[in-house]
Amino acid sequence: MAYVKLTTLRKIVFSLAGVALMLFAGISFYRIRHLKEPVVLGQGVTQVKKLSDYFKGIKGTINDSYVYMLEGEEAGGTVLVIGGTHPEEPAARLAAWIFTENALLEQGKLLVILSANRSATTVTRLGGAYPPDYTIETPWGGQKFRMGDRWSNPLDQWPDPEVYIHYPSRQELAYIDIRNLNRTWPGRPNGTLTEKTCFAIIQLIKEENVDIAIDLHEAELQYPVISTIVAHQNGQDLAAMASMMISGMEGFDIGMENSPEALHGLSHREIGDHTDAISLLLEAPEPMLDATRGRTDRALLLEGKDEFIVKAGKHGLLFEKMDENGWPIDKRVGRHCSTILQIIELWSEEHQEKALIIKNVPRYKEIIAKGTGAFLHNPATAASNRIKYE
């Protein structure tokens, strides 16, 4: 009798310890999924739409993301900047954030998406021990952002198939990439959440007559497609010229690569194939994504310093330089801002009737000098009707 009671008591104690552990983890997961990221609409933002304005099938889902529209008084071209395709590549979202909060359009139209795959911003890599969030220091305090993952949250799209067959090419891709927004272009209206999201953005590109779509990313240093502009064949000249101009004028080097014609599902291939827009994808270096990294914490995410990756570089395993100074977030955000501006300036020189004139966006050197946070605005002092939450 005493033995039975002891066993029962032991099970209760173990179960309570398990519940405590689960609560501890569960509260953390819940908080990060529901963390609100404020966006202070800059003077240049004239309208805020949602992806469901272009495709009703995404209405009410977590991926019905905002589309920030900045319009100049003079008609011109239209450029779409896509941030948050892979939220675990934070420089992409932060660069898009800077455009939304600061850019002033004199001519043309700029469309910005900060969370292209909003579902993927609400989870971190399973088993990856990633930090759930990170904070960018600003003159008015810190602004917290969700860390995010490369793939849509399984809470929003589950289960994965054994094999992912891309639509419409029928190319076989890794099973997990059915939740990867940069493997599901051009999407379809009756597909998975991730496919529907791509379909909605494709509809946006068509309806808004987008001339150039720029998808922002970061890459590990052990991946050959890094520090580069990947261009669909319809944008090769523009990308090559931008690469030359940036390397000469902006203070950093960036290459240019052709989008492989047989590799499907990626924005630089499918947007160009399925719409009239020029499709470009930008890659900046992010050491935290490297497999040989050390501790995966907020410092690595923001400072980009890691002795193990430095060592990998000494063994010739990297496709980008890496030293003790690392790749801080300001450098990565600055690269994206300058590259976007250079692309738009070169486009505008060649297409006067479809030009865009953008002011008040910092470039690479200014962002390094002042920090990314200097260009984020304080939601506490902004009018409530000029704040959105991602």
State the residues that interact with another protein by CB under 8 A: 7, 10-11, 14-15, 17-18, 21-22, 25-26, 29-30, 123, 126, 154-155, 158-159
Which of 154, 251 has the CB closer to another protein?
Answer: 154
DSSP for 194-214 reads HHHHHHHHHHHHHHTT-SEEE
CB 172, min distance to another protein, A:
20
CB 30, min distance to another protein, A:
6
Contacts of 299 (CB under 8 A, 6+ apart): 305
Which of 4, 383 has the CB closer to another protein?
Answer: 4
Count of alpha carbons within 13 angstroms of residue 165, beta-carbon side: 3
CB 158, min distance to another protein, A:
6
User: What is d(CA 270, CA 354) in angstroms, rounded to the nearest whole number?
Assistant: 23
Which of 126, 262 has the CB closer to another protein?
Answer: 126
Are 271 and 277 in contact by the 8 Å Cβ rule? The answer is: yes
CB 213, min distance to another protein, A:
30
Are 197 and 187 in contact by the 8 Å Cβ rule? The answer is: yes
Q: List strand residue ranges (DSSP E) for 89-204, in order.
A: 104-113, 133-138, 141-146, 164-165, 172-173
Consecutive H or E run containing 228: strand 228-231
Which of 78, 121 has the CB closer to another protein?
Answer: 121
The number of beta carbons lying within 10 Å of the beta carbon of residue 185 is 29
Which of 11, 365 has the CB closer to another protein?
Answer: 11
CB 198, min distance to another protein, A:
19
Which of 55, 327 has the CB closer to another protein?
Answer: 55
CB 15, min distance to another protein, A:
6
CB 220, min distance to another protein, A:
25
User: What is d(CA 238, CA 338) in angstroms, rounded to the nearest whole number?
Assistant: 15
CB 195, min distance to another protein, A:
14
Which of 21, 174 has the CB closer to another protein?
Answer: 21
Are 338 and 363 in contact by the 8 Å Cβ rule? The answer is: yes
User: What is d(CA 229, CA 257) in angstroms, rounded to the nearest whole number?
Assistant: 6
Angle in degrees, CA 372, 358, 376, rounded to 5 = 25
Contacts of 314 (CB under 8 A, 6+ apart): none
Residue with token string 């390397």: 247
Which of 29, 308 has the CB closer to another protein?
Answer: 29
Rounded to the nearest 5 percent, the helix, strand and coil shares of the chain are: 40, 20, 40
Residue with token string 């004139």: 357
Which of 2, 126 has the CB closer to another protein?
Answer: 126
CB 159, min distance to another protein, A:
5
